[in-house]
């Protein structure tokens, strides 16, 4: 047995004198890991040593490559021992011989030979990257994926944050109540689905959200309103110059959010004359004004609470405004009873109706107060605040030209008359008189 010592392992001496076993700096300026033969380029010495230690600290995955060697006269041992396959641009892979197999026929004649080698996976990936960068067309053709030759033209899309889309939507619709309500739904949607970017709106997450909404106690119209608000905010990105391709792709996926249920048929419940007067008797001055104004102007509770002093023409006794929900013009002629009640209210705010704290009424809080008044008045719980609007609309529709005038009073689209009523609110007097006769006449 020979006692001759093996060749000592190469070491690299740093500029500060430290010896780094297993690392060699070659004459062409590239670094070589002695144990694997892997080479890499790095101009900075500190970074090169750091990379070397990162690579050698973790065992890299190995891939097995089987190469046919039929027709080669060398012995298996020579093949495995001497295997060193140089690659283009003098770059080599870290290859370790593994095994050789020989297939023979019935007469012990060699039919096929193949050798297997274990190859460092990272070395292969680095080599592939080099080929793509230095000779993309030739390499793409050889591996049968010609599209890779054009990889430099691939546009890398940036992630679009949903918060960015929401911010631009709110900036464009500043102060609009409908936009604020839509934003609340949108923020609740993003929180419940844990999505941050457009790309996070995957079919899987949208299906889970739809199942959650569909299993809730929301009405069909509320479910559809939820979905519509989400889609409206996303689509607003198109108007604000945000990546149209990503927006449209997201909107296609958002088609998953749909409601199969049909909207419940509307069942107006006009308040009776008796219940109207019971409510007035049980309310204070502020709420008598709220109830009377809602009936006179044919308003929902939220619309009544949104009224500003500037919406009322005190001298001419008219109300003209645009519906917050639709932007359509509505008008009414104010009764003397309405004017008297409004004259008793303090003008401490731009809003006509304020809470006991001197602030604008919250819709939910106002609804609770109405329920208390209704209970004190002994009025059935089936009578809602909107029963006042239903009563006004019903009686207005019964006057001459009632179908057209009731729509003007309620703020429903009525064609060209929408424009004329703003200049001449007197048009709706017959409708307001019809409501007055039924409830106060």
Residue from 226, 187, 232 nearest 210 by CA: 226
Work out the mean pLDDT of the chain and round it to a whole number. 82
Sign for the pseudo-dihedral over CA of 422, 424, 429, 431: negative
Percent of all residues in the chain with a pLDDT value above 90, rounded to a whole number: 41
Whether 97 and 194 share a structural domain: no
| Confidence (pLDDT) at 99 | 53
266 in a structural domain: no
For residue 363, give both structure tokens.
Answer: 């819709």
For residue 70, pLDDT beyond 50: no
Q: How far is CA 157 from the centre of its chain?
A: 17
Whether 312 and 237 share a structural domain: no
265 in a structural domain: no
Whether 69 and 84 share a structural domain: yes
- The pLDDT-based confidence of 313 (bands split at 50, 70, 90) is very high
For residue 99, give both structure tokens.
Answer: 């095994």
User: pTM for the full model?
Assistant: 0.49
Q: How many domains does the chain have?
A: 4
Whether 224 and 300 share a structural domain: no
Whether 46 and 83 share a structural domain: no
For residue 139, give both structure tokens.
Answer: 């390499």
| Confidence (pLDDT) at 79 | 47
Domain end (from 152, 181, 216) = 152
| Confidence (pLDDT) at 123 | 73
- The pLDDT-based confidence of 71 (bands split at 50, 70, 90) is very low
Separation of first and last alpha carbons in the chain: 127
Whether 334 and 392 share a structural domain: yes
- Sheet of 110-120, strands arranged across: 62-68, 110-120, 95-104
For residue 21, give both structure tokens.
Answer: 């076993």
Whether 307 and 433 share a structural domain: yes
Q: What are phi and psi of 196, to 5 degrees?
A: -120, -35
Residue from 129, 125, 78, 121 nearest 100 by CA: 78
For residue 195, pLDDT beyond 90: yes
Whether 403 and 314 share a structural domain: yes
| Confidence (pLDDT) at 1 | 40
Q: How many residues appear in the chain?
A: 441
- The pLDDT-based confidence of 117 (bands split at 50, 70, 90) is low
157 in a structural domain: no
Whether 284 and 338 share a structural domain: yes
Cα 406 to Cα 418: distance, rounded to the nearest angstrom: 12
24 in a structural domain: yes
263 in a structural domain: no
Q: How many CB atoms lie under 10 A from the CB of residue 252?
A: 9
Whether 51 and 64 share a structural domain: no
| Confidence (pLDDT) at 417 | 58
Judge residue 284's burial from the number of C-beta atoms within 10 Å of its C-beta, 0-12 exposed, 13-18 middle, 19 or more buried.
Answer: exposed
Determine contact, residues 179/170, Cβ cutoff 8 Å.
yes
Whether 174 and 185 share a structural domain: yes
Residue 392 domain boundaries: 273-439
Residue from 133, 72, 66, 53 nearest 100 by CA: 66
Whether 422 and 339 share a structural domain: yes
Domain end (from 123, 152, 181) = 152
For residue 97, pLDDT beyond 70: no
pLDDT, one tens digit per residue, over 319-336 is 988 776 666 788 999 999
116 in a structural domain: yes
pLDDT, one tens digit per residue, over 2-29 is 444 445 567 888 888 788 888 999 988 8
Domain end (from 256, 286, 313) = 256
262 in a structural domain: no
CATH at 326: 1.10.443.10
For residue 175, give both structure tokens.
Answer: 């102060």
16 in a structural domain: yes
| Confidence (pLDDT) at 144 | 86
The residues, ordered by sequence, that sit 6+ positions from 28 with a Cβ below 8 Å of its Cβ are 90
Q: Using the structure block, give the residue that is written with the tokens 């690299």.
A: 12
């Amino acid at each position: 047995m020979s006692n001759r010592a093996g060749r000592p392992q190469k070491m690299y001496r740093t500029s500060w004198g430290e010896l780094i076993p297993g690392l060699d700096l070659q004459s062409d300026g590239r670094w070589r890991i002695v144990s694997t033969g892997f080479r890499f380029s790095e101009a900075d010495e500190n970074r090169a040593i750091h990379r070397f230690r990162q690579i050698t600290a973790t065992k890299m995955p190995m891939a097995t490559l089987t190469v046919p060697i039929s027709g080669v006269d060398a012995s298996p041992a020579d093949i495995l021992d001497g295997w060193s396959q140089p690659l283009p641009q003098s770059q080599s892979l870290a290859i370790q011989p593994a095994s050789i197999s020989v297939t023979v026929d019935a007469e012990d004649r060699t039919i096929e030979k193949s050798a297997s080698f274990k190859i460092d996976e990272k070395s292969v990936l680095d080599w592939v990257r080099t080929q793509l960068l230095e000779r993309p067309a030739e390499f793409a053709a050889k591996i049968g994926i010609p599209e890779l030759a054009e990889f430099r033209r691939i546009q890398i899309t940036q992630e679009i944050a949903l918060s960015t889309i929401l911010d631009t939507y709110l900036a464009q619709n500043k102060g609009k109540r409908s936009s604020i309500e839509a934003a609340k739904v949108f923020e609740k949607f993003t929180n419940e689905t844990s999505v941050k970017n457009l790309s996070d709106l995957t079919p899987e997450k949208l299906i889970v959200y739809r199942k959650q909404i569909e299993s809730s106690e929301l009405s069909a119209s509320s479910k559809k309103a939820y979905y519509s608000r989400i889609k409206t905010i996303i689509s607003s990105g198109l108007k604000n110059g945000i990546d149209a391709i990503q927006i449209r792709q997201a909107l296609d996926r958002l088609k998953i959010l749909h409601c199969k249920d049909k909207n419940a048929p509307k069942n107006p419940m006009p308040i009776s004359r008796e219940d109207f007067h019971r409510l007035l008797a049980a309310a204070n001055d502020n709420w008598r004004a709220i109830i009377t104004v809602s009936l006179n102007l044919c308003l929902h509770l939220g619309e009544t609470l949104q009224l500003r002093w500037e919406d009322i023409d005190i001298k001419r006794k008219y109300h003209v405004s645009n519906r917050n929900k639709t932007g359509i013009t509505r008008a009414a002629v104010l009764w003397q009873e309405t004017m008297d009640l409004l004259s008793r209210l303090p003008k401490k705010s731009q809003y006509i109706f304020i809470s006991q704290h001197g602030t604008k009424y919250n819709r939910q809080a106002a609804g609770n107060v109405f329920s208390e008044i209704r209970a004190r008045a002994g009025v059935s719980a089936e009578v809602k605040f909107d029963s006042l609007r239903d009563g006004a609309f019903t009686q207005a529709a019964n006057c001459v030209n009632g179908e057209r005038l009731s729509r003007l009073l309620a703020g429903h689209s009525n064609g060209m008359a929408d424009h004329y009523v703003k200049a001449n609110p007197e048009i709706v007097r017959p409708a307001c008189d019809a409501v007055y006769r039924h409830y106060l006449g």
